[in-house]
Amino acid sequence: MLGIYLPCSANYSELEDLDLSQPDKNRLFLSLLNARLLSAALSGILYLENMKFSDLGKITIAKTPDGNEQSAFDSPINGKELYDYASKVEASICKKIDSFDFENESDHARIGDLEYFFKLHPNNIKIDGKQMITRTLVMLDDVHILTKNQRQLLFTKLQQQRPSIPVWIAERKEALRFAELLLGEPDRDFQIVEIERFFRDRSKKYENFVLNVADRRARASNIELNSFSQCIDDSIDNQEWEQKLMDTISSIRKRIEKKVSDTKAYDEWILQQENQTGTPREKAIGWKMLEIRIQRHSAGGQQMLIDTPLEVGDLAGIEARLRGAAEFLLSDEFKIPYYFGLERLSVLSTYNIQQYIGVANELFENVIARSIMRKMPTVDPQTQHDLVEKIARSYVSSIPRRVPFGTYAFNILQSIGQYARQETLRATAPYPPGVTGIGLTSRYYNRIIDPLEQERKPEYKILENVLHSCLANNLLVADFDYKQGPKSGDTNVVFYLNRLLCVHFKLPLGYGGWRKTNPDEMCEWMGIVKIAKK
């Protein structure tokens, strides 16, 4: 298969700033895109077939036998001619963009549509007269960097002309009107794949993928290691932590006994917990879950006519929901490591491979240091926890400098983090495993991005820019159609904190728990009061 990778992060957007008519700018844009597509395809063929540049003449692109006019040349053209043509077009347009005197720079831009998206059909491509390529795929990356006009033009052309080779488009989700620009039927004419959601729904797959990457890097290092995973100590079920966990159990137990001393209602629950088997860690989590259940039940205000023990009931469902919250609250209160282990490491990355590698690198540096000091090349849970907290602090402190609208972004994230922590630490754990995000109803969200509303409230424009910046820099992860409950008709837009930010704000790492807010409150969080219209 010939995969043609075309990043859109180059100088396309500068075309919009030339003092030309819009049709001329469109012509330049499409010509540049097609020229780059053509030269990327030809160099891809050379690479795939292990050919040299001087072998370009062996490639021909000819009429397709399927009779599609769009894909036809008048006569077969060889690769060298095409490459020279593409180079000439591209160089002339780039020179025009970079010129101090662009009006007097001629260009060779003559292409007004997606011509080469058809001509590069695998049936057309021959090497020494033989068809060697069975499939062609065009991959357009960073499409969100194009200007609004350019994105619109590209999507319109793709929809109208329907190229005969598949086209993948990768862009950041904060190019918010993506779906609105696409005409046609979803799943029939186009498919949207949200990478973060894809991996979020397949967390084990993601964990295996990133671990594979980390293992390869570890094997390539200059210390003898078969895998990264062998360096990461995944458990606190050992002698070092046993006493601490037993003390924890004892503290919680005393608290429970004190709380329920005047009632028999929870006797069966307590008895069941006392009979629980398992490691000290599992028992400690069990006791914490019990404490939360008792807290919830007693806060529920249900009066019992006769003081008799409540039945134990089916706890499986409750435990599945409470377990995450219990583990976090336990770790937070009793200073037990929480941010450790391979599974947590992959969750910390917020389904972003770069972030994963950043954190894994720091841990691996620790392994190398230990190896040099002739110690066991494994990182214990407490060290992992401390290192991850240090990485998170550095990550947060750099936000004002490295992120557009960084100061506002920092303020809003601080407010979300503090609010989330306050909600997470409630004794009844109402949103297990904890709150790690905020949500707006779709109606509120549409108000923020509505130009007319922004005229009325200029602070909404800043808020839109800040949210855009947070999404672009992976500080927030958005779920744009969150439905609360199966029967609810309302959708919400939920913004979850990057999991590394959760570490900084001392929050659990699970998704799910979020609290509602509104645009005005978010503006206050940013530190903006109402802006007077100019």
Angle at the Cα of 30 from the Cα atoms of 112 and 450, rounded to 5 degrees: 110
Q: How far apart are CA 382 and CA 232, in angstroms?
A: 11
Based on CB atoms, which residue is closest to other proteins, 77 or 472? 472
One-letter amino acid identity for 81?
E
DSSP per-residue codes, 132-188:
----EEEEEE-GGGS-HHHHHHHHHHHHHH--SS-EEE---TTSTTHHHH--S-BTT
Q: How far is the CB of 379 from other proteins (least distance, A)?
A: 19
User: In angstroms, what is the minimal distance from the CB of 58 to other proteins?
Assistant: 12
CA dist 356 and 449 (Å) reads 32
Question: How many secondary structure helices (H) and strands (E) does the chain include?
Answer: 21, 10
Binding residues (CB under 8 A) for other proteins: these are 9-11, 13-14, 16-17, 35-36, 39-40, 43, 46-47, 51-54, 83, 86-87, 90-91, 94-95, 97-98, 100-101, 145, 147-148, 398, 400-408, 462, 465, 472-473
Q: Which amino acid is residue 294, in one-letter code?
A: I
The dihedral built from the CA positions of residue 520, 526, 530 and 534, taken in this order, carries a sign that is negative
Which residue, 13 or 371, has its beta carbon nearer to other proteins? Answer: 13
Nearer to other proteins, 52 or 374 (CB): 52
Q: Least Å distance between CB 326 and other proteins? A: 39
- CA distances 190 to 122, 164, 178, 284, Å, are 21, 13, 12, 50
User: Taking a C-beta distance cutoff of 8 angstroms, is the pair 319, 289 a contact?
Assistant: yes
Cβ of residue 503: shortest distance to other proteins, in angstroms? 21
Shortest reach from residue 71's CB to other proteins, in Å: 22
The tokens for 345 are 């490491």
SS3 127: strand
* Shortest reach from residue 391's CB to other proteins, in Å: 14
Q: How far apart are CA 153 and CA 170, in angstroms?
A: 16
Q: Report the alpha-carbon distance of residue 31 to residue 28 in Å, rounded.
A: 5
Tokens 């983090």 found at: 417
403 or 413: CB nearest other proteins: 403
Q: What are phi and psi of 491, to 5 degrees?
A: -105, 155
Considering the complex, state which of residue 130 and residue 534 has its C-beta at the smaller distance from other proteins.
534
Task: Choose between 260 and 462: whose C-beta lies nearer to other proteins.
Answer: 462
Query: Of 295 and 407, which has the nearer Cβ to other proteins?
Result: 407
Q: What is the CB neighbour count within 10 angstroms for residue 62?
A: 19
**By C-beta, is 465 or 518 nearer to other proteins?**
465
Q: Smallest gap, in angstroms, from Cβ of residue 33 to other proteins?
A: 12
Q: How far is the CB of 24 from other proteins (least distance, A)?
A: 16
Measured between alpha carbons, how far is 57 from 51 in angstroms, rounded to an integer?
A: 11
